[in-house]
Chain A
Amino acid sequence: MKTLKCIAVTVLLAACIAVAPAIAQDKPTLIVGAIYVGSVNDFGYNRSMKDGLEEMKKNIPGLKLIEAENVPETAESERVMENMVQQGAKLIFPTSFGHMDFALNVAKRHPDVFFYHPGGYKVAPNFGNFFGNTQTAWYPIGIAAGKMTKSNKVGFIVGQPIGYALGNVNAFEMGARSVNPKVQTIVVVVNSWSDKSKEAAAANALLDQGCDILTMHVDSPATIIQTAEARGAMSIGFQSIESRKLAPKGWITGLGFTWGKFMTQTAQSVINGTFKPGFVRQGIAEGMMAVAPFGPSVPADTQKLVNDSVASLDKGFNPFTGPIMDNKGVVRIAKGESWGGDKMGDFDWFVEGVIGQAK
């Protein structure tokens, strides 16, 4: 019996020693936390964030990613992020606009943890802000819509009327008007980034009013694109270029985010100790955004116009250059003035040609 016990203990010790190096190797190079406001399977914003994070994880060996989906934009998110910090996260991406203030609270409590928030505007020593230059990127998309519409009415469904979303609508309408002066964009606000039944009802309402193209700024374009496709209308996607799979006939084009390169750079800078938070706005040229492939019904000359416009953006063209009038006749951007990336959150008005209430 005593011999048996000795052998058992020896075997156990040997096993522990054999396994120990493997456990020691499990310490990750960096633990990154990410919270999503919805589900990552949404063909939209959350999907694009997930894709970016997965690319970052692939590019940096030994990186551990902790994620939480369906985290609401309330104090609950603070608790979830705090939990991630306790698990050892040194870099956190609170991926939704409304997570901003709660993330800032956590950042103040943990100055050694870094935060990079997409879509907001607050900055702190360990808290940075990044987003795609969506507003100007919507201009070429507007060109596509302006050429493809036959009823001259385009429907735009907006989740929450924040300045950045209104800026998207404005650039879209200006782009459409540049090729078709009669185009009107009708805006319906659903007051939620992700309320599918309201989105379906809003899409139906816009189609009832005679719109033949639908586009949106909500978390997931899926419901709206499917509703448009079911009623024979065309659609333009946003957030994720994968959404074109939902509209084999009516897809025109779309705008998607490709966050992977930026996220990899950020994670690498945290590992190297060179992280400096800033207010980053990158566009198609820097690889943060991409124009989706065109649908089967888009003619070659329209595609060329859109591509040319994208190229002009890369060369510095800014559609928000005065004089620009709003839809009530007031001049909002004076002649000679131009609004840059830092003013994109300031929109509380719509340009001429947009039918809708900004507030």
Chain B
Amino acid sequence: MIGVLLRGVLAGSILSGTLLLYATLGEVIVERSGIVNLGLEGILLIGASVAFAIASVTGSAYLGVLAAAAAGGIAMLLFGYLVVGRRANQLATGLAMMFFGMGVSALVGKSFVGGVIAGLPKYRVPWLSYLPWVKGSTLFNWDILVYLAIPVAVLAWWLLFRTRWGLGVRAVGESPTAAFAAGRRPELLQYQALFLGGLLGGVAGAHLSVSLTMTWNEGMTSGRGFIAIALVIFSKWHPLRAIVGAIVFGGAEALQLQLQAQGAQVSPFLLDMLPYILTLAVLIAWGGARRSAAPAGLGRTFYGTE
């Protein structure tokens, strides 16, 4: 009984956690450059609707994912123009981007609602997926975005912490003036970080519509963008710790449904609150300590050297 529950939660957490991980990685890169993007929910929705639309039209889910990444990147460049180019308030602009994303995605997706697509093909790991405990579940039988999730997290870590570019981005996030004095171009680095964040956000949204649900519905991300923003804090702005966070939160979502399926004697309404209570509990327990880990220049606008 416990074995089945554990297996179900693990399987569910990996499926739900993949898109959380991509979204969190994108947001980590963006916040490391000093910009808070509250519009992540909008980026996810744009990614989801574009991916589904392109997959419906071309018949290829992979093209849908690529198109979603591009759309996310472009949307983030727009956000970048507003907060970096025009120096608008980041929090307000982020929220505006969220509504923008909700609207644009509804517009794009409208003619595709109810469409049926083949979805991303799933690949079985040859030996592991036939083990007795694993067989019959979705473990080790995933689409390519799930397999790539952890490598992409490692790549993000390497980019931020082992390259000159990453050093520049982090410097801009800590103190844009100091970075500028050292010869970097803060605005360019921020645009680049935003674009990268947009690519990842678009991919996250694509996974939802083209692999998990194989459908499009207005507002289908149901607040996952905000969970990802909380995960960034939970992971102390570090891509590798984001993996743990994504699995934990993906698991919370899966747990409440698995508990119901096992016949737990708890009201479904209370169980439904589980992921959000977990988010709150984690932020209360670790929020204070984490604040010192935030990039010092987070949320502040760089006014240049005029």
Chain A interfacial positions (CB closer than 8 Å to B): 38-43, 47, 70, 155, 161, 186-191, 194-202, 204-206, 208-210, 222-223, 226, 230-231, 245-246, 355-357, 359
A208 pairs with B137, CB closer than 8 A: yes
17 A-B residue pairs with CB within 8 Å: A70-B218, A186-B261, A188-B260, A189-B268, A191-B268, A195-B220, A197-B221, A200-B213, A201-B12, A202-B261, A204-B138, A208-B12, A208-B258, A223-B215, A226-B214, A226-B215, A357-B260
Write out, one digit per residue, whether chain B residues 263-299 have a CB within 8 A of any chain A CB (1) or not (0): 1111111001000000000000000000000000000
A194 pairs with B268, CB closer than 8 A: no
Given known contacts A41-B114, A197-B208, A205-B257, A359 and B11 CB-to-CB distance under 8 angstroms: no
Given known contacts A198-B257, A200-B212, A209 and B138 CB-to-CB distance under 8 angstroms: no
* Residue numbers in A under 8 Å from B254 (CB-CB): 201, 205
A204 pairs with B15, CB closer than 8 A: yes
Using a CB-CB cutoff of 8 Å, which residues 1-60 of chain B contact chain A? Answer: 4, 7-8, 11-12, 15-16
> Nearest CB to that of A209 among chain B residues?
B261
> Nearest CB to that of B259 among chain A residues?
A205
Does B217 reach chain A (CB closer than 8 Å)?
Answer: yes
Given known contacts A197-B212, A201-B15, A189 and B260 CB-to-CB distance under 8 angstroms: yes
Q: State A221–B260 Cα separation when bound (angstroms).
A: 19
Given known contacts A42-B114, A208-B7, A202 and B214 CB-to-CB distance under 8 angstroms: no
The 10 A-B pairs at the shortest CB distance, nearest first, are namely A41-B114, A189-B268, A208-B8, A355-B263, A196-B213, A39-B113, A205-B257, A205-B261, A41-B113, A188-B260
Chain A: minimal CB distance from B153 (Å): 21
List 16 extra interface pairs beyond A191-B268, A209-B261, A356-B260, CB under 8 A: A38-B217, A39-B217, A39-B218, A42-B113, A186-B263, A187-B260, A188-B257, A188-B260, A191-B269, A195-B220, A201-B254, A204-B138, A223-B215, A231-B138, A355-B263, A357-B268
Write out, one digit per residue, whether chain B residues 75-106 have a CB within 8 A of any chain A CB (1) or not (0): 00000000000000000000000000000001
Chain B: minimal CB distance from A259 (Å): 18
Write out, one digit per residue, whether chain B residues 179-217 have a CB within 8 A of any chain A CB (1) or not (0): 000000000000000000000000000001000111101
* Residue numbers in A under 8 Å from B305 (CB-CB): none
B267 pairs with A195, CB closer than 8 A: no
A42, A155, A222, A230: the one within 8 Å of B261 (CB): A155
Q: State A221–B253 Cα separation when bound (angstroms).
A: 21
Chain B: minimal CB distance from A38 (Å): 8
Given known contacts A161-B268, A188-B261, A205 and B12 CB-to-CB distance under 8 angstroms: yes
> Nearest CB to that of A184 among chain B residues?
B263
> Nearest CB to that of A201 among chain B residues?
B257
Does B155 reach chain A (CB closer than 8 Å)?
Answer: no
Given known contacts A188-B261, A208-B261, A357 and B267 CB-to-CB distance under 8 angstroms: yes
* Residue numbers in B under 8 Å from A155 (CB-CB): 261
A194 pairs with B214, CB closer than 8 A: no
B114 pairs with A222, CB closer than 8 A: yes
Q: State A189–B272 Cα separation when bound (angstroms).
A: 9
Q: State A209–B268 Cα separation when bound (angstroms).
A: 17
* Residue numbers in B under 8 Å from A199 (CB-CB): 213
* Residue numbers in A under 8 Å from B116 (CB-CB): 222, 226, 245-246
* Residue numbers in A under 8 Å from B220 (CB-CB): 195-197
* Residue numbers in B under 8 Å from A43 (CB-CB): 114
A223 pairs with B213, CB closer than 8 A: yes
* Residue numbers in A under 8 Å from B11 (CB-CB): 204, 208
> Nearest CB to that of B253 among chain A residues?
A201
> Nearest CB to that of A192 among chain B residues?
B222
> Nearest CB to that of B19 among chain A residues?
A197
Chain A: minimal CB distance from B44 (Å): 11
B272 pairs with A196, CB closer than 8 A: no
Q: State A199–B258 Cα separation when bound (angstroms).
A: 12
> Nearest CB to that of B1 among chain A residues?
A209
B257 pairs with A197, CB closer than 8 A: no
Q: State A223–B209 Cα separation when bound (angstroms).
A: 11
Q: State A209–B260 Cα separation when bound (angstroms).
A: 10
Q: State A196–B137 Cα separation when bound (angstroms).
A: 20
Does B163 reach chain A (CB closer than 8 Å)?
Answer: no
B110, B136, B253, B265: the one within 8 Å of A357 (CB): B265
* Residue numbers in B under 8 Å from A190 (CB-CB): 257
Chain B: minimal CB distance from A205 (Å): 4
B4 pairs with A208, CB closer than 8 A: yes
Q: Which of B208, B217, B262, B269 gathers the greatest number of chain A CB atoms within 10 Å? A: B217
Q: Which of B16, B110, B263, B267 gathers the greatest number of chain A CB atoms within 10 Å? A: B263
Chain B: minimal CB distance from A216 (Å): 14
* Residue numbers in A under 8 Å from B138 (CB-CB): 204, 208, 231
A70, A200, A205: the one within 8 Å of B260 (CB): A205
